[in-house]
Amino acid sequence: MARAFVTGWPIGHSRSPLIHKHWLEMHGIEGDYLRHPSKVADFETFIQSFQQEGFLGGNVTLPHKEAACANIEKTDATAKRLGAVNTVWVENDTIIGGNTDGYGFTANLDEFAANWCDESRLKRGALVLGAGGAARAIIDALMQRGFQKITIANRTLPRAIELREMFGKPCCAIAYQDIKDAERNASIIVNTTSVGMAGSEQENETPLSLNGFASDVIVNDIVYTPLITPLLHEAKTRGMHAVDGLGMLLHQAVPGFEKWFGVRPEVTPELRAVLLADLGETS
Ligand code: ATR
């Protein structure tokens, strides 16, 4: 039977099986998609020998994305730029690693904020909150789409500076308290921090106030638990365009499924409903 995996530690919370099992069923493919827990000490062996365990490939999640990049024979251009792999597959007996997080991010905005890459919006630039692994994939995607200014704001300024140095122009690094009118003219704000995530210490907080931002700003949170984070709630209250993070999770799964099972699946309202039900969301 055709099988794919998601591996990480811990892995019990992963919602990827729901997505891939839905597509397997939709396409009538006799296959499976399993959670495979790997501790750090076991990961290298697993990622180099998953074929012997009967897998076609799979997804790699925290904390192994960087280790996957270092331990796989071949990586695609995006994974190379990011130094992180989230999807692996086999071509001509060679294991290949790619990174689809940026694809998921852009496809979600293409779906729910079609004008987000208009010329004038690219010129006004983007404000990215946070400087972790997720921010990297998003900054890379924004650069690929041609954003002419990308401001990275982070609680710990040196981490933002590190990313600015990694990506170079058009990025700049800033501390939250130094955000001024120039940054408030951004056409899109993306929250990549865990502030506002259910279960975190800051679950009722926003990373910054949206006061003073342009009324046509697009506000995107990559956190999807809850679906409407405090930041998105504030955006909606102010009449701004809010885009939740669930679509990023759904779209990033598309290229992997296609590589393993040979069919490009679609992100449909039915699939979104399956995930919303699992998250206990009604909207
Ligand atoms: P990931 O790889 O998922 O992006 P990460 O590397 O742990 O996760 O990064 C989490 C991001 O959330 C960081 O930018 C972190 O800021 P610091 O670099 O200052 O740690 C940010 N973050 C987490 N908790 C935060 C908080 N309470 N206030 C502001 N930023 C926070």
Co-location of 29 and 123 in the same domain = no
What is the domain extent for residue 241?
A: 103-247
Verify that 34 and 136 share a domain, yes or no: no
Total domain count for the chain?
2
Q: pLDDT averaged over the chain?
A: 97
Using the mean position of ligand 1's atoms as its centre, give its distance from the Cα of residue 247 in Å. 21
266 and 188 within one domain? no
Q: Ligand 1 in contact with 272 (CB < 6 A)?
A: no
Mutate to test the pocket of ligand 1, among 155, 179, 225 (most ligand atoms within 8 A of CB): 155
How far apart CA 22 and CA 11 sit, in angstroms, is 19
Is residue 141 domain-shared with residue 22, that is, in the same domain? Answer: no
Question: What would the pLDDT profile of 206-259 be if each residue is shown by its tens digit?
Answer: 999 999 999 999 999 999 999 999 999 999 999 999 999 999 999 999 999 999
**pTM (whole model) above 0.85:** yes
The Cα–Cα gap between 93 and 113 comes to 40
Say how many Å lie between the CA of residue 130 and the centre of ligand 1: 6
Taking only the tens of pLDDT, the chain with its 283 residues reads 999 999 999 999 999 999 999 999 999 999 999 999 999 999 999 999 999 999 999 999 999 999 999 999 999 999 999 999 999 999 999 999 999 999 999 999 999 999 999 999 999 999 999 999 999 999 999 999 999 999 999 999 999 999 999 999 999 999 999 999 999 999 999 999 999 999 999 999 999 999 999 999 999 999 999 999 999 999 999 999 999 999 999 999 999 999 999 999 999 999 999 999 999 997 6
DSSP β-ladder status, 241-243 and 218-221: parallel
Examine the domain organization and report whether 130 and 181 are in the same domain: yes
15 lines ligand 1 (CB under 6 A): no
Testing ligand 1's pocket by substitution, the residue of 194, 205, 206, 249 carrying the most ligand atoms inside 8 A of its CB is 194
CATH number, domain of 64, equals: 3.40.50.10860
* Beta strands 87-91; 74-75: pairing state: unpaired
**Nearest CA residue ID for atom 29, ligand 1:** 155
User: 77 and 205: one domain?
Assistant: no
Same domain, 175 and 187: yes
User: Do 203 and 153 share a structural domain?
Assistant: yes
Q: Are residues 28 and 150 in the same domain?
A: no
